[in-house]
Amino acid sequence: MADYDVFNGDADGICALVQLRLAEPRKAHLVTGVKRDISLLKQVDAEPGDRITVLDISMDKNRNDLHRVLNAGAEVFYVDHHFAGEVPSSAALKSMINEAPDVCTSLLINHYLRGAYLAWGIVGTFGDNLKKSAIGMAKNTDLGAEQLQGLENLGIYINYNGYGSDLADLHFDPAELYRLAAQYANPLDFIEDGVEHFQRLETGYHQDLSLAQATQALIADSAVAVFELPDAPWARRVSGVYSNDLTNQHPDRAHAVLTAKSNGNYLVSVRAPLNNKQGASALCRQFPTGGGREAAAGINDLPADMLAQFIDALKQAYL
């Protein structure tokens, strides 16, 4: 019998697992990757009696492998907030799926654990750019403004670390970052004790974001804006958090950040308007390799000859 922890390599996935394993310690095989690597269950060769925890990856994108591991006799605990489609009916599957735009996996695990490691839940929720939800979680705590800002920064930086075409683009392998974080019941202690790790992420984040902020928009009006970043490691790292930054700066506008790829296609990050968090998933699922959630979604490999079609679809969705 083996245990597997399968989780998204972004802040939400990492912080969800940190909470869960602090509350329910378990030596498990870690299965993760860059943020866009969501078809992770295919890496699990399940046997009868295995226990598999799946956090923050779309059930729809892992449906065939979910059926496979269940049919192999494994037990699965599946928690997510992305588009799921039909949830399989199995006594061996326990699932918590909530696709509401103000919900993320760290928030769901926080509820599941009844706030046992609330501060880590707040970090993950900030990291998923759900600032209002994160502040709401902190309402009845003794966290001061400076501490809350530290948790927000940590969430943003961990989330930033997950973006890239492969692990070589990242400052930390997400499995390594999880192991470092999981040593601390309180993320504020991680910030203080692991200051060199925190500063490595912070420095990289600000350097990359400053380069992105110098980029001119391909199109920009009151409803939508599209930006294109070059085929470079810094651009791949910052694409998602830059999308969040644009959304926070212009809450009534939808945004798409295109990152050029070596094959001539585009990696696409889409953010619905902060004040109208809907439609991003449906938009991206119109295109091959697209998916996500209502407020934030993406396309892993948009063919260059479909760029004009994508921009038209973005305008139609949000004009």
125 and 261 share one domain: no
165 and 244 share one domain: no
Note whether residue 209 is domain-resident.
no
| Mean pLDDT on 236-259 | 95
Is residue 194's pLDDT more than 90?
no
181 and 219 share one domain: no
Q: What CATH number is given to the structural domain containing 134?
A: 3.90.1640
Interatomic CA distance for residues 95 and 79, integer angstroms: 6
Note whether residue 31 is domain-resident.
yes
CB atoms within 10 A of CB 303: 16
| Mean pLDDT on 50-64 | 97
Note whether residue 210 is domain-resident.
no
- pTM of the prediction? 0.90
Number of domains in the chain: 2
219 and 262 share one domain: yes
pLDDT band at 236; cut points 50, 70, 90: very high
183 and 42 share one domain: yes
Note whether residue 208 is domain-resident.
no
Within 8 A by CB and 6+ apart from 308, the residues are: none
Q: Which of 178, 203, 228 is the last residue of a domain?
A: 203
186 and 228 share one domain: no
Which tens digit of pLDDT belongs to each residue from 60-82? 999 999 999 999 999 999 999 99
Note whether residue 32 is domain-resident.
yes
Strand-pair category, 217-220 with 224-229: antiparallel
CB atoms within 10 A of CB 94: 12
Report percent pLDDT > 70 for the chain: 100
What b-and-e string marks burial along 174-212, b requiring 16 or more CB atoms within 10 Å of the CB?
A: bbebbebbbebeebeebbeebeebbeebbebbeebbebb
Contact (CB, 8 A) for 268 and 196: no
Which tens digit of pLDDT belongs to each residue from 269-285? 999 999 999 999 999 99
Interatomic CA distance for residues 16 and 14, integer angstroms: 5
Interatomic CA distance for residues 150 and 215, integer angstroms: 28
pLDDT of residue 319: 85
Q: What CATH number is given to the structural domain containing 275?
A: 3.10.310.30
116 and 14 share one domain: yes
Domain coverage including residue 310:
215-318
